[in-house]
Amino acid sequence: MSVTLLLGSASTSRAAILTRAGIPFTQLAADIDEAALVTDVPEPRVQAQALATAKAHAVSNMLLRDTLPDGPTYIIAADSVFEFEGHAYGKPQHPDVAIERWRAQRGKAGILHSGHTIIAVLGGRKQRIVQETVSATVAFANVSDSVIDDYVATGEPLFVAGGFTLEGHGATMIAGVDGDPNAVLGLSLRAVREMLDRLGVALTPLWTATE
């Protein structure tokens, strides 16, 4: 029986990570109130995992409500929270917020936490749930105010955790990464493979499914 991997996210970055790895998947975005969910969760690492788990449940609930899966389906969800000087930072969303954050973090380092949750939908219901949070330290270049202003003006950092990315323009402002770079991009492939292993699903046979 074929296995379906469903990415529970609208993120183009996470989709691109799976695509580059030759992993076949479908995609369905989660709709959750992120701000309300983390109100009572101060720890950045715990926030990231809570958001990933909420997304996975939201997507699996939509799937079971609207379309009964034909076979085993595994919902993969992830979310990231940036920790800087002990505080949690999500997406800046506004240019002035992004500028303020970048001026504070330039020349320093923070920790990007990416929570991962996989829910196995078997026999028309949720059967098993596995979770893992992957963290990596990101060091930032000591860039000038004008570089920060120009970067924020591109709009790239507004809707990513911590206001930065390893892709695009943001790559020019990262001094180094200690940890899984894919986790910083939003989805640790190592974690996904090991989590699927725990659910009895081997990832490598799926590589040939797209050939």
* CATH number for the domain that contains residue 168: 3.90.950.10
Beta carbons of 109 and 59 less than 8 angstroms apart: no
Per-residue model confidence (pLDDT) at position 176:
96
End-to-end CA, the chain? 18
Give ∠ CA 143-155-75 in degrees, rounded to 5: 110
User: pLDDT tens-digit profile of 140-151?
Assistant: 999 999 999 999
Per-residue model confidence (pLDDT) at position 32:
73
Domain count, the chain: 1
Active site residue 79: yes
Per-residue model confidence (pLDDT) at position 196:
96
User: pLDDT tens-digit profile of 18-58?
Assistant: 999 999 999 988 777 766 666 777 789 999 999 999 999 99
Tokens 């101060």 found at? 42
Query: Helices marked H in 21-169 — which ranges?
Result: 34-37, 44-66, 95-105, 145-153
What DSSP character marks residue 166? Answer: S
The C-alpha atoms of residue 26 and residue 88 are separated, in whole angstroms, by 30
Per-residue model confidence (pLDDT) at position 36:
64
| Domain limits for position 151 | 4-210
Per-residue model confidence (pLDDT) at position 190:
96
Q: Which residues contact 48 (CB under 8 A, 6 or more apart)?
A: 79, 80, 81, 113, 114, 115, 133
Write down the catalytic residue from 70, 79, 145, 149: 79
Q: Which of 24, 21, 91, 78 is nearest to 49 (CA)?
A: 78
Beta carbons of 14 and 5 less than 8 angstroms apart: no
Residues of the chain below pLDDT 70: 1, 34-38, 208-211
3-class SS of residue 190:
helix
pTM, full prediction: 0.90
